[in-house]
Structure 1
């Protein structure tokens, strides 16, 4: 079975990029969705520090009693993720921006940051819900704001897509000095690409 790029490969990426990369092997016929269930999206939100374990437990209990609420949130999260992907890909390829995708993102901006605010956690600052009863959609707002900050800033043209020939499809921000990075991670797709090139050169030399 093909090896899937590890989560660590994008651990330093922008929040919005990490969210888009919850789909692995985007350019293959069979993709891997890492937030395909309500439990997996809650775990991702906790790992991304957009929710703590108390909030996750609260939502898990609510969704157990109201599965349709869990399904609605999961659909909203997937919709935002795919809208972000379409816009990032358009910027990478110089294509036309999908206005439907823009509208999907702007829904999270229209209500500003109601329900979520910057707050202290120990000696760090994080996005924190401001209401006692969490509206799940508020947890997605920082992701949309992350994308807006990236897309309207000087790093917008540094967003690229992994060129791994197996179809990885992950996005990344190229912070290299020469701006010639091709893979999501040298430890994953980059090393495999180098190994394949070496193997092909060895085979050609033997012929």
Structure 2
């Protein structure tokens, strides 16, 4: 089991990064809430990981802190929730926001996430309410909407003319339909916005 990686951040292609650990490059997929908190390309980064082995692939999912990883692990135990949907859920809202939705049985808030229908949302509330009550999440750097902020806000290392395309691609990878992703990105785009800022604001607009 690979539980933690520390190395040099070689590339950031939301929602995936390439991390150089002693000469070995690890491809790791992160929820966008963790992605925003990554340092700049070329700097050292630490991610807590969850390793998934399938017949056709071996996948690493990464998280900025152990609390978010713990929530991800509880999520994928729920009936009908796989790692991809778990990643999508934690990209659309912070761990604290998700736990609040479950605690207050806010099904309407959960169904706004791609891939989460009413039955899935109701099942998440029923299956996770007691389990999540036992999790203790430490306070992170969040803004007034509960979205984790990056300590290097705006440094996406992506040419500005590619920012919209990368933002749309990231949203599609997270489960949003191409037309929906394009509409969201175009709706909030302003000149000089980075891809990470576009993704964050687009996710906010759809929740």
| TM-score using structure 2 length | 0.27
Higher helix proportion (structure 1 or 2): 1
| TM-score using structure 1 length | 0.27
Q: Which structure has the larger Rg over C-alpha atoms?
A: 1
More relative contact order in 1 or in 2 (CA 8 Å, sep 6+)?
1
